[in-house]
């Protein structure tokens, strides 16, 4: 499986980024909504710490993914109306934006609350606000929470579009992003186009040699 994408298929790197980040972001959102409603306890502090560390990991992955995207290519769109291609590309751009905005607003919220920030109990990250700031804290919290609701809406369109392509249009859009499934039909290769068709089995006409190797013996 090639690391880089080609004209018709996403490469291994793009697919790994896509599915790893999709799982992490969805789990972070569900855990985030749940943990915020829990009563204060030692366990809640631990879950917050893990949410923040995984969220920072998503931020690092998003930066790596965007850098890789600059070097990689994008498979050609399958044939579809121009408005659909435009809507899909706009959704992808907004998803990339939220992959950065959600962890950054979480980091800002944490900083403006006056809390320190550690990545998986290993090293500290700097404050983005230079200390507690109640007004900034409220803004960062609103971006973090409402940004996630916007993400959910975009994902409904994104996932709905992918399923529509797969089950209604029956094209390659979803399959070429999946890690394991085979393609619906193999695209013709250069070899299969260039190779002459095999003659049907039957008696060899008189005067035609059996094989080129015996010709002239
Ligand atoms: C079940 C969930 C998901 C499905 C079925 C799905 C499906 C797909 C498919 C089929 C593509 C390729 C589209 C194409 O070739 O034009 C794609 C691209 C993309 N997906 Fe998802 N996706 C899912 C979840 C997510 C999540 C959670 C995110 C991020 C929050 C996300 C972000 C993206 C982005 C940014 C692209 C564009 C990649 C690029 O152009 O570099 N997806 N997705
Ligand atoms: C893609 C990454 C992230 C996603 C999808 C995400 C999602 C969420 C969601 C949906 C909530 C619940 C919002 C609420 O009801 O208040 C939440 C809460 C929270 N998140 Fe994140 N988060 C991410 C990254 C981060 C990061 C990097 C940090 C900090 C460094 C962070 C810190 C927090 C905190 C402190 C809360 C609790 C807010 C409260 O107590 O009301 N998050 N997160």
Structural domains of the chain ordered from first start: 12-169 (1.20.950)
- Phi and psi torsions of 47, nearest 5°: -65, -40
Task: Give the mean model confidence (pLDDT) for residues 56-69.
Answer: 98
161 CB near ligand 2 (under 6 Å): no
Which residue intervals of 72-200 are DSSP H helices? 82-112, 134-164, 190-194
In this predicted structure, what is the pLDDT of residue 180? 73
Length of the chain: 217
Q: Is 111 exposed, middle or buried (0-12, 13-18, 19+ CB in 10 A)?
A: buried
Through-space distance between the first and last CA atoms of the chain, rounded to whole angstroms: 46
Cα(101) to centroid(ligand 1), Å: 17
Confidence of residue 102 (pLDDT cuts 50, 70, 90): very high
Task: Give the mean model confidence (pLDDT) for residues 2-16.
Answer: 95
Task: Identify whether the C-beta of residue 168 lies closer than 8 Å to the C-beta of residue 159.
Answer: no
Cα(78) to centroid(ligand 1), Å: 15
The pLDDT > 70 percentage for the chain reads 83
117 CB near ligand 1 (under 6 Å): no
Cα(18) to centroid(ligand 1), Å: 6
User: How would you classify residue 164: left for phi > 0, otherwise alpha for psi between -120 and 50, otherwise beta?
Assistant: alpha
Strands 117-119 and 123-125: antiparallel
Cα(165) to centroid(ligand 2), Å: 32
* 57 three-class SS: helix
Confidence of residue 217 (pLDDT cuts 50, 70, 90): very low
Query: Closest ligand 1 atom, CA of 65?
Result: 41
The helix or strand, by DSSP H or E, that contains position 133, with its residue range, turns out to be: none
Q: Is the pLDDT of residue 22 over 70?
A: yes
* 124 three-class SS: strand
Strand partners, 152: none
In this predicted structure, what is the pLDDT of residue 216? 32
144 CB near ligand 2 (under 6 Å): yes
Q: Is the pLDDT of residue 192 over 80?
A: no
In this predicted structure, what is the pLDDT of residue 190? 37
What are 81's two structure tokens?
A: 């109306």
Quick one: which ligand is closest to 102's CA?
2
Q: Give the integer Cα–Cα distance in Å for 32 and 145.
A: 9
Q: Is the pLDDT of residue 183 over 80?
A: no
In this predicted structure, what is the pLDDT of residue 184? 55
Task: Identify whether the C-beta of residue 5 lies closer than 8 Å to the C-beta of residue 14.
Answer: yes
Task: Give the mean model confidence (pLDDT) for residues 133-150.
Answer: 98
109 CB near ligand 2 (under 6 Å): yes
Higher pLDDT among residues 103 and 206, named by residue: 103
178 CB near ligand 1 (under 6 Å): no
Quick one: which ligand is closest to 160's CA?
1
159 CB near ligand 1 (under 6 Å): yes
Task: Identify whether the C-beta of residue 44 lies closer than 8 Å to the C-beta of residue 35.
Answer: yes
Confidence of residue 189 (pLDDT cuts 50, 70, 90): very low
Query: Closest ligand 1 atom, CA of 88?
Result: 16
């Amino acid at each position: 499986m090639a690391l880089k994408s080609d004209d018709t298929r996403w490469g291994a790197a793009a697919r790994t980024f896509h599915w790893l980040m999709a799982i992490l972001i969805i789990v972070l959102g569900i855990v985030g909504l749940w943990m915020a409603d829990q009563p204060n306890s030692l366990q809640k502090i631990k879950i917050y710490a893990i949410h923040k560390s995984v969220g920072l990991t998503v931020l690092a992955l998003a930066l790596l993914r965007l850098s890789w995207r600059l070097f990689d290519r994008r498979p050609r769109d399958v044939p579809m109306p121009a408005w659909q291609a435009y809507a899909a590309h706009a959704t992808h751009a907004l998803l990339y934006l939220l992959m950065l905005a959600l962890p950054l607003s979480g980091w800002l919220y944490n900083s403006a609350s006056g809390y320190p920030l550690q990545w998986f109990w290993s090293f500290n990250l700097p404050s983005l606000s230079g200390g507690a700031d109640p007004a900034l804290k409220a803004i960062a919290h609103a971006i973090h929470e409402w940004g996630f609701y916007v993400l959910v809406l975009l994902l409904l369109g994104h996932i709905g579009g992918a399923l529509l392509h797969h089950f209604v249009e029956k094209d390659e859009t979803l399959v070429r992003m999946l890690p394991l499934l085979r393609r619906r039909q193999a695209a013709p290769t250069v070899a299969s186009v260039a190779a002459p068709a095999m003659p049907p089995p039957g008696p060899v006409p008189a005067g035609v040699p059996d094989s080129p190797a015996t010709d002239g013996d």
